[in-house]
Structure 1
Amino acid sequence: MTFTRYAIYYVPPKQAEWSRFASSWLGWDLCEGRPLDHPPNTGLDVAAITDVPRKYGLHATIKPPFRLAEGKTADALAERFAQFATEMAPVRLDGLTLTRLGRFLALCPTGDLLSLNRLAFNCVRDLDDFRSPPSAAELDRRRTGGLTPAQELALLTWGYPYVGDSFRFHITLTGKRPKAELPAIESMLQDRLGPLLPAPFVLGDLALVGEGSDGRFQLIHRHALTG
């Protein structure tokens, strides 16, 4: 299958109860590349709430989506990614917690984030020769929300503003919603998803994913971190 863009994600284990619920909540199975029915009896318009993040599936971004640089191949990227995974160690954190990030909800890790943040930066840096530079339109779109000088530098260096000190690991669960809607969504997710969340939370592998012609992402390879 041909993909338009590639990315490195943390993709939660498919067999875990919490990730099964959260994938269904989003309505897209990233591992199998197919739609999922939303959970029943939520009292919410889940399809609307999850419309924006649905195409990405249940994930946390490690290296953001990119087009392949000229002269680079998908096979070479997969080989480099596999090698990278052998050089990186698993990361153990205290757990995951439902968190408001502005006007959307996500799962964020708790505990010492130093090793996690270092892993993410190493991935961005070590695979960056596979990334085609963003277009002027893509750069302008990234700037619409306003960037700090450090984020602007990261955008020009890595093609994405939220790298290094601006990186925040998060597993997105909603699009941006009116503030008045957030308490009801948060309450439902705390009740249904909260008790299932892992403690501790161990990030033991990473995934190479691709964006299909329909704009939706799916798993290509998953590799354990064995460094």
Structure 2
Amino acid sequence: MRYAINFTPSANDPLTLAASQWLGRNAFSGEAMEPPGIRGLGLHDIAFNTAVPRRYGFHGTLKPPFRLADGVIEQLLLRSMMHFAGQHQPVRLPRFEVVRLGNRFALAPCQPCEALHHLAGAVVEHFDAFRAPLTEAELERIDPYRLSASQFANLHRWGHPHVMDEFRFHMTLTGPLGPSDIPRFEKVLRDYFDPFLERQLDVSNLALFVEDAAGAPFLVHSLHPLGSVASRRIA
């Protein structure tokens, strides 16, 4: 079993519903969803090219997936998340936009957000004590030889290369695309998501995602609202 600490809007947020439909799965309920009918893209095109992010659900990673360390149980992780969330305030994000990350697409803030970067770093550091060390097999799957020096140091200190100074918040929408697919997916994604990106988005919770077994889809276990303890609820 693995856990991840992410951000995702609430289950009934219009952006969550639109993204879940695009990805073909709702990470709150686990239910499959019919991809939207979009001119210029067939249902098979969408389903095939969203297979990778579909398994992880609509989310922005704060602490990447990890196994619990020996002697740590889920209840301890939950208790610590509730306490941590109560000590940190929500983060107001710059406007979101569809961005290209290499040969993939994602939603991301249109400019860097120092408060979000600080929150992500605090999450990684605080919950590192709950993380089991990476196994040799896990290290090999990450392919450390292709990493920069900074990424390699992060991998061995924090269990993942893209944290701390290498962190860039994003919410993945596609897997890797072929060169001929990139222009048409970019247009479709902008047309589909832009109406949902007009309002301000706040990182208002820490979302605990759970992978019950190796290769299983991640599901939202609970939401832990940032801010006052009095306002906290479990989703």
TM-score (normalizing by structure 1): 0.94
Q: Does 1:80 align with 2:77?
A: no
Q: Does 1:54 align with 2:58?
A: no
1:153 CA drift (Å): 0.7
Q: Distance in 2 between matches of 1:11 and 1:75?
A: 21
Q: Which residue in the other structure is 2:233 paired with?
A: none
Deviations 1:139-170 (A, max 9, x none): 12223571111111110001000111100000
Q: Distance in 1 between matches of 2:145 and 2:174?
A: 18
Q: Distance in 1 between matches of 2:94 and 2:124?
A: 24
Q: Which residue in the other structure is 1:215 paired with?
A: 216
Q: Which residue in the other structure is 2:13 paired with?
A: 16
Q: Given that residues 28 and 35 in structure 1 are in contact (C-alpha distance below 8 angstroms), is that contact kept between their aligned partners in structure 2?
A: yes
Q: Given that residues 144 and 152 in structure 2 are in contact (C-alpha distance below 8 angstroms), is that contact kept between their aligned partners in structure 1?
A: no
The Cα RMSD (Å) is 1.4
Q: Given that residues 93 and 112 in structure 1 are in contact (C-alpha distance below 8 angstroms), is that contact kept between their aligned partners in structure 2?
A: no
Q: Which residue in the other structure is 1:124 paired with?
A: 124
Q: Which residue in the other structure is 1:113 paired with?
A: 113
Q: Distance in 2 between matches of 1:159 and 1:127?
A: 11
Q: Given that residues 94 and 199 in structure 1 are in contact (C-alpha distance below 8 angstroms), is that contact kept between their aligned partners in structure 2?
A: no
Greater share of residues in strand: 1
Q: Which residue in the other structure is 2:37 paired with?
A: 40
Q: Distance in 1 between matches of 2:199 and 2:68?
A: 37
1:198 CA drift (Å): 4.2
Q: Distance in 2 between matches of 1:102 and 1:35?
A: 28
1:13 CA drift (Å): 2.3
Deviations 1:113-157 (A, max 9, x none): 111011001001101111001111211222357111111111000
The 3 A distance-change label for structure 1 pair 155 and 100 is same
Q: Given that residues 86 and 224 in structure 1 are in contact (C-alpha distance below 8 angstroms), is that contact kept between their aligned partners in structure 2?
A: yes
TM-score (normalizing by structure 2): 0.91
Q: Does 1:167 align with 2:167?
A: yes
Q: Distance in 2 between matches of 1:198 and 1:225?
A: 23
Instruction: Give secondary structure in 1 for the equivalent of 2:223.
Output: strand
Counterpart residue identity of residue 135, structure 2: S
Unaligned runs of 5+ in 2: 229-235
Q: Distance in 2 between matches of 1:72 and 1:198?
A: 42
Counterpart residue identity of residue 171, structure 2: I
Counterpart residue identity of residue 57, structure 1: G
Match runs of 1:78-227 below 5 Å: 78-143=78-143, 146-213=146-213, 215-226=216-227
Counterpart residue identity of residue 137, structure 1: A
The 3 A distance-change label for structure 1 pair 200 and 145 is farther
